[in-house]
Structure 1
Amino acid sequence: MRYTDGRLLAACCALVAPLGCTARVVARGGNDATVCRKTTVAVLGAGVAGITAAQALSNASVPEFLIVERNDYIGGRVRHANFGKKPDGTPYVVELGANWVQGLGSEGGPENPVWTLAKKYGVNNTYSNYSSILTYDETGANNYTGLFRDYEDAYGTMEQDAGYILTENLQDTSVRAGLSLAGWKPKKNMHAQALEWWEWDWETAYPPEQSGLLYGITGYNLTFYQFSDQNNFVWDQRGFNTWVIGEAYEFLKENDPRLLLNTTVETISYGPEGVIVQLKDGGCIEAQHAIATFSVGVLQNEVVKFDPVLPRWKREAIEQFQMGTYTKIFLQFNETFWDRDTQFFLYADNKTRGYYPVWQSLSAPGFIEESNIIFVTVVGDKSYKVEQQTDEETKAEVMKVIRSMFPNITVPDPTAFMYPRWSTEEWAYGSYSNWPVGMTLEKHQNLRANVGRLWFAGEATSAQYYGFLHGAWFEGRDVGERVAGLVSKNHSHECDGNSTIGCGAMNDYKVLHGTTSLDEYTVANGWAASSFLTYGYEEE
């Protein structure tokens, strides 16, 4: 264990001495010292996973926890910003990160918990009608929607192939191979390339070549077949994180000392007796357990140091999983010159796949109709490029595209322009995760698994719902309940044989196999729903 300012004493004490001993004193050089703040559980991050984990602890009568959050708000990647101007001069609110409730629920069936909570807090949202789309290329309007049927036919075949891979324990492949085998080969057809981007990249933030077939299919089906096929877009002017904040203050008080905003974690020292969290401001927290809800991007970029270094089986899983970037570029004009009744506009560039392809209107019926706001989305390499550019450079590119889409209209300059830079944010380093080619369920379980008293939770740790907001919710609840079962004094939350999500320490696989057998698709490996939802029908 190495510390640059004489902190070795406290870390060693935390890892060796019983947790019942007196508070540790962390030497900082000279005569000053910092006393570690003691708690039962340190929850690192106040996003959906962190808040849900803390709520699970509170519900289990474990009130001794601290929530540590680098930002000055609750919500993490559920983040909004002020943009443009309303007629009265005040700004609109737009979502920079998570923006949809995906897969709502069906009558008599399960309901997405995010949808349940959005309804609870009256979050304003509107159904995303993906049939409300017009298609364009560099010449202007060009109807190539007939390609949708070709893609959907190939996707259906690919979906069945994913089922065979699962049930027959076959070696997985890429989505590109799956589509090609099913007859979808867009090659140099730029209209088909744009449509494929709309159907695949726009959801996953990665191209088919880099996405695993089996888990790429489950990443869609386990949400939309289990809940419903609806996506609702949130435009609430309070912000989408209204429900996250609302849930937090069901168990937190106003100015609750257990919520530490604007507080950065630098180092986590962990061992069999507990965890020491060193903070950038020089403070520290001593806890029996810690729940790290950092994104895969943060873990891959080593923003937080672990002492000792995480074991190889853990690091391999972290490094192999993917962190995608999804960049929304917002423009406000003094008028809505595009079709007011249409939600989506798809642009096929004649040279570059994924070049400012999907445009969404916030002036469409049911959204913010008077706003004159439209935004365009890029992902992956295009995100990295625009996030390294200046606003003016990106604006010039965007305006050239939209003017080519509407050649018969004098498109004015925007009155407001803005986009986030997710790939450069040290507390995020991306938007959400994607399942890569060659990663098995066992290896993903190593991403989920705790290392002693150090736990991990977030959308990426969800085998079924990675990349989705409800994945973060389920994983936060799971880990919160597991830890509560271990520390609860009355033991009422320990495993009683009836738990639907498991309890205690998680599985890990120090020896990995090439494939995952069907009998391993269990709760213990993060798989609660029927595996047969993978390819579109339920197990009888």
Structure 2
Amino acid sequence: MEAAYVIAEQNAGYVLTENLQDTSMRAAFSLAGWKPKKDMHAQAVDWWFWDFEAAYPPEESGFLYGIAGYNLTFYQWSDENNFVIDQRGFNTFIISEANEFLMENDPRLMLDTMVKSIAYGPQGVNVTFEDGGCIEAEHAIATFSIGVLQNDIVEFEPQLPRWKREAIEQFQIGTYTKVFFQFNETLWDPDTQYFLYADANSRGYYPIWQSLTGPGFHEGSNIIFTTVVGPQSYRIERQSDEVTKAECLEVLRAMFPDKNIPEPIDFKYPRWSTEEWAFGSYSNWPVGMTLEQHQNLRANVDRLWFAGEGTSAQYFGFLQGAWYEGRDVAQRIAGLLNGPDEHVQCDNDTTIDCGLMAFYEVLHGTTFLDEFNVQNGWPVSSFLDYGYEG
């Protein structure tokens, strides 16, 4: 699998430089010589290499952008890709940033406030809340997740243009579920971080177990957790904690048959796809999504702007994607407020032109109408209507 992944990386570079058609990640792996077929051990390795990161299987993930996005993150920041164990919580840096411009109990920060609708146009934006309150602004940045946008939680007035809605519906929001267990003692090798489990019947059935009791984590905590994604996440979200716990304990007992695995002293897992402010965990690049269509996901509509990890072409699914996209949009708006011809200099020596972001109202495919012909295996017109009575 490692050898096949290297080949897939090289092939992705060739597809990018030669402007070739993208494929699925599954096709790319197969072309690189990796075909797990019905071998459940190979399927577990397959899940470990791809689903564990993308939250989608290779069949549903785009090849070129999946490889490029993954490589950009791990080649730039691999040494900083750490499991966060800071007891203050992951939002500590966000709070620290906010403290630079928000006062204590600042009324501008409106928590626990549900947005009902957003009216936008060339003159400004009006945001209405469920409690009837509203905010008017010259510009607004919507950082809703792809899941929230796809579930029509917020009404846009007027309706977002078709090119924007198509991009929203085409992109993917993955669900990534970690199921945590804490025991009275560490029943597994404390020096091993990851354990890989291959179920005999189901791919992705509690396949990865990660220990937090070892060096550099929560030493001596006796905590271990397993990860599931996609359909398995949706399945355990619908069932009770007790059913999920029983399933996991059965897996642990199969993994460590020489150990007496007791009931845990603590147990917990989230249900991300049911959270109305998220409807999932993070985004994934699907098969068939082009860079131009993704740009339509990023692009503003009049004075309504969009940001978040899902709008990042290079870092979708990662924290830095949300960071860079938010900064980019904020700089554009700041430039507009300072003057229509303003340019913004970025940290990486690039310049942002303020104003409307690029978008593609019409996106064409690669096949012209006259190519639907006999030579290409299309002898009958798709617009045939004789013989139909209705």
**What TM-score do you get using the length of structure 1 for normalisation?**
0.66
Task: Give the distance between the partners of 2:199 and 2:43, measured in 1 at CA.
Answer: 9
Shift of 1:354: 0.4
Deviations 1:235-289 (A, max 9, x none): 1111111111111111111111211111110000111111111101110111111
Task: Name the counterpart of 1:292.
Answer: 142
Determine if the alignment matches structure 1 residue 315 to structure 2 residue 168.
no
Whether the aligned pair in 1 keeps the contact of 2:344 and 2:351 (CA below 8 Å) is no
Structure 1's 224 and 253: CA in aligned 2 closer, same or farther, altered over 3 A? same
Determine if the alignment matches structure 1 residue 508 to structure 2 residue 359.
yes
Task: Name the counterpart of 2:385.
Answer: none
Task: Give the distance between the partners of 1:374 and 1:494, measured in 2 at CA.
Answer: 52
Task: Give the distance between the partners of 2:254 and 2:269, measured in 1 at CA.
Answer: 21
**Of 210, 213, 228, which residue of structure 2 is paired with 1:378?**
228
Shift of 1:496: 6.0
Task: Give the distance between the partners of 1:230 and 1:363, measured in 2 at CA.
Answer: 20
- Structure 1 counterpart SS, 2:138: strand
Deviations 1:139-183 (A, max 9, x none): xxxxxxxxxxxx011111111111121111111100000000111
Q: Which amino acid aligns with 2:351?
A: T
- Structure 2 counterpart SS, 1:452: coil
Task: Give the distance between the partners of 2:353 and 2:223, measured in 1 at CA.
Answer: 46
Determine if the alignment matches structure 1 residue 449 to structure 2 residue 299.
yes
Q: Which amino acid aligns with 1:422?
A: W
Deviations 1:300-358 (A, max 9, x none): 00011101110000000000000000001011111111111111111110110000011
Whether the aligned pair in 1 keeps the contact of 2:344 and 2:353 (CA below 8 Å) is no
**Of 107, 112, 134, which residue of structure 2 is paired with 1:257?**
107
**Unaligned residue ranges in structure 1 (runs of 5+):** 1-150, 516-540
State the structure with bigger RCO (CA 8 A, min sep 6), 1 or 2.
1
Determine if the alignment matches structure 1 residue 159 to structure 2 residue 13.
no
**Unaligned residue ranges in structure 2 (runs of 5+):** 367-390
CA RMSD in angstroms, aligned pairs only: 1.5
Determine if the alignment matches structure 1 residue 357 to structure 2 residue 357.
no
Task: Name the counterpart of 1:48.
Answer: none
Determine if the alignment matches structure 1 residue 494 to structure 2 residue 345.
no
Task: Name the counterpart of 2:249.
Answer: 399
Q: Which amino acid aligns with 1:394?
A: T
Shift of 1:379: 0.3
Give the alignment of 1:77-156 within 5 angstroms.
151-156=1-6
Task: Give the distance between the partners of 1:462 and 1:238, measured in 2 at CA.
Answer: 28
Whether the aligned pair in 1 keeps the contact of 2:54 and 2:174 (CA below 8 Å) is yes
Task: Name the counterpart of 2:44.
Answer: 194
Whether the aligned pair in 1 keeps the contact of 2:331 and 2:344 (CA below 8 Å) is no
Task: Give the distance between the partners of 2:344 and 2:196, measured in 1 at CA.
Answer: 52
Q: Which amino acid aligns with 2:221?
A: S
Task: Give the distance between the partners of 1:169 and 1:429, measured in 2 at CA.
Answer: 34
Shift of 1:226: 3.1
- Structure 2 counterpart SS, 1:188: coil
Determine if the alignment matches structure 1 residue 243 to structure 2 residue 93.
yes
Whether the aligned pair in 2 keeps the contact of 1:495 and 1:504 (CA below 8 Å) is no
Give the alignment of 1:435-446 within 5 angstroms.
435-446=285-296
Task: Name the counterpart of 1:203.
Answer: 53
**Of 445, 458, 463, which residue of structure 1 is paired with 2:313?**
463
Shift of 1:513: 3.6
Task: Name the counterpart of 1:415.
Answer: 265
Q: Which amino acid aligns with 1:213?
A: F
Whether the aligned pair in 2 keeps the contact of 1:481 and 1:493 (CA below 8 Å) is no
Task: Name the counterpart of 1:475.
Answer: 325
Whether the aligned pair in 2 keeps the contact of 1:331 and 1:416 (CA below 8 Å) is yes
Runs of 4+ with >4 A deviation: 496-499
Shift of 1:486: 1.0
Deviations 1:485-519 (A, max 9, x none): 1123xx4992168753443221000111447xxxx
- Structure 2 counterpart SS, 1:233: coil
Deviations 1:164-209 (A, max 9, x none): 2111111110000000011100011111110111110000000000
Shift of 1:230: 5.2
**Of 156, 163, 166, which residue of structure 2 is paired with 1:306?**
156
Deviations 1:203-233 (A, max 9, x none): 0000000000000111111112234465211
Identity of aligned residues (%): 71
Whether the aligned pair in 2 keeps the contact of 1:324 and 1:380 (CA below 8 Å) is yes
**Of 71, 81, 99, which residue of structure 2 is paired with 1:221?**
71
Structure 1's 259 and 382: CA in aligned 2 closer, same or farther, altered over 3 A? same
**What TM-score do you get using the length of structure 2 for normalisation?**
0.90
Q: How many residues align?
A: 363
Q: Which amino acid aligns with 1:495?
A: H
